[in-house]
């Protein structure tokens, strides 16, 4: 008999239906303990709540309930201290804990599994884990917003070019630019909060798929574990992984924002821009070129987005063809979620650190803001506001003025009044009051605009909306 065909003794956890154990390959493909041991705290919490309910309902004796609780205390300490021995032969975290519990307290451990299945057990553990992770992500996102707000307030009046198509468009302030990301990450927090609200229903008590004949109290367990209510349908309870998909969807969008900001840092640090400087803490050198300072933390954060997108697509593909209720395919749900969570947490930490660390090169930003005829719109607006020219006509006049300045190789503000009046006689000397980048930025006082006073007010408002003790 080949190695792959070798059979081991039956797994006692499967009961009497199986006369022999799995092949080596089957054991390897079936085991999840290498990754789902991360669920140990949630598995123990769920077991405690289930045992308390069984005792309250008279299904389990108080003596057995006490023994179970004490045994779980021991197991928790063993895992946290690294003394616990995980076995691939026992497949998953649930069986590893249950078998160890039986070693510690005897037959009482076998009564813990009354009125539950691994199907509803893992669904509960996984929801608890994702819920905890959402709370952790929210704290990280809030910290990221906080450092963005600090930097935005410090640079509410620091002028830089605003871009469309990565071409100079209009002057803005660095603070205004950073506040855009405060809003993005605020929406991310909203998406995670929405996902948390939808996942906060308890699967435990659904059994394998059909519920149980024991007189359990699912509402009591839900309250005990901080869920809003039990899942209404037992089939849905064990087969739903929407909460995992929603978590990764929110993570993917958040990683998109991280990646966009990372791309800007890469651009801003490049020789063609030199808008910001990063210290040694978030840059690396070159093994060949001693002059190099590479923004690797930004580049790696940008790359993490691809991993998280792949994690989401992978689980979507697993789930798309599964009939109700539970299928073993769903064991593939945890690794992509764990990977997405780890990638997001690391990228958030790196981005928060880079924002705190980076220093704007104010002179370079200011000089770049004046290039590319960035105040052309201010000239067009002046023609509308002062000379009563229809905007479309003002747009054409301004285009002609820009072309003339471009032909001469000078900025708009360096043209003479005579040169501008030769294009349109309605232009007066007052036009020069709007052609500097400082005047342009100061004039953008509409709600959400880039005027420095607006930026300070917007930062204060954002602190009220997003920050909490």
Cross-strand pairs, 161 = 171
Q: How is residue 32 written in tokens? A: 């999840």
Closest CA to 155 of 390, 459, 426: 459
Q: How is residue 420 written in tokens? A: 């501008």
Residues involved in catalysis: 165, 286
Distance (Å, whole) CA 45 – CA 135:
17
Which stretch of DSSP H or E encloses residue 136? helix 118-154
Q: Name every residue whose Cβ is closer than 8 Å to that of residue 265 and which is 6 or more positions away in sequence.
A: 276, 278, 295, 298, 354, 358
Closest CA to 102 of 86, 113, 92, 91: 113
CA distances from 67 to 152, 184, 391 (A): 56, 50, 81
Q: Could you give the 3-state DSSP secondary structure of residue 173?
A: strand
Q: How many CB atoms lie within 10 A of CB 356?
A: 16
Q: Is the Cβ–Cβ distance between 139 and 113 less than 8 Å?
A: no
Distance (Å, whole) CA 220 – CA 16:
33
Q: How many CB atoms lie within 10 A of CB 431?
A: 22
């Amino acid at each position: 008999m080949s190695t792959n065909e070798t059979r081991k003794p039956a797994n006692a956890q499967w009961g009497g239906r199986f006369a022999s154990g799995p092949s080596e390959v089957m054991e390897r493909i079936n085991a999840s303990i290498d990754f789902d041991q991360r669920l140990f705290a949630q598995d123990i919490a769920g077991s405690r709540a289930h045992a308390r309910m069984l005792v309250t309902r008279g299904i389990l004796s108080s003596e057995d309930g006490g023994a179970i609780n004490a045994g779980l205390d021991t197991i928790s300490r063993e895992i946290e201290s690294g003394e616990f021995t995980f076995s691939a032969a026992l497949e998953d975290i649930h069986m590893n804990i249950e078998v160890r519990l039986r070693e510690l307290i005897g037959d009482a451990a076998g009564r813990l599994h009354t009125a539950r299945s691994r199907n509803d057990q893992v669904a509960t553990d996984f929801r608890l884990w994702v819920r905890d992770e959402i709370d952790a992500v929210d704290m990280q996102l809030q910290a990221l917003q906080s450092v963005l707000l600090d930097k935005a307030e410090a640079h509410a009046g620091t002028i830089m070019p605003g871009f469309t198509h990565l071409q100079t468009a209009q002057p803005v302030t660095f603070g205004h630019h950073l506040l855009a990301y405060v809003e993005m990450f605020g929406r991310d927090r909203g998406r995670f909060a929405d996902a948390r609200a939808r996942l906060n229903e308890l699967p435990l008590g659904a059994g394998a798929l059909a519920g149980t004949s024991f007189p359990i109290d699912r509402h009591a367990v839900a309250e005990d574990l901080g869920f809003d209510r039990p899942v209404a349908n037992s089939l849905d309870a064990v087969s739903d992984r929407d909460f995992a998909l929603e978590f990764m969807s929110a993570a993917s969008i958040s990683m998109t924002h991280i990646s966009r900001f990372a791309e800007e840092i890469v651009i801003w640090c490049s020789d063609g821009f030199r808008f910001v400087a990063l210290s040694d803490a978030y840059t690396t050198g070159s093994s060949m070129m001693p002059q190099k300072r590479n923004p690797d933390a930004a580049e790696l954060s940008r790359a993490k987005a691809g991993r998280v997108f792949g994690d989401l697509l992978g689980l979507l593909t697993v789930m798309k063809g599964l009939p109700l209720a539970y299928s073993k395919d769903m064991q593939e749900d945890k690794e992509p979620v764990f990977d997405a969570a780890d990638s997001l947490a690391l990228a958030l930490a790196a981005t928060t650190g880079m924002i705190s660390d980076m220093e704007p090169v104010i002179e370079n930003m200011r000089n770049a803001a004046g290039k590319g005829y960035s105040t052309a719109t201010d000239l067009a607006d002046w023609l509308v506001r002062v000379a009563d020219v229809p905007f479309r006509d003002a747009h054409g006049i301004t285009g002609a003025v820009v072309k003339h300045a471009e032909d001469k190789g000078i900025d708009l503000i360096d043209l003479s009044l005579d040169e501008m009046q030769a294009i349109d006689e309605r232009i007066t000397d007052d036009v020069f009051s709007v052609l500097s980048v400082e005047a342009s930025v100061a004039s953008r006082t509409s709600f959400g605009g880039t005027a420095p006073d607006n930026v300070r007010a917007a930062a204060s408002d954002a602190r009220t909306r997003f920050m909490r003790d």
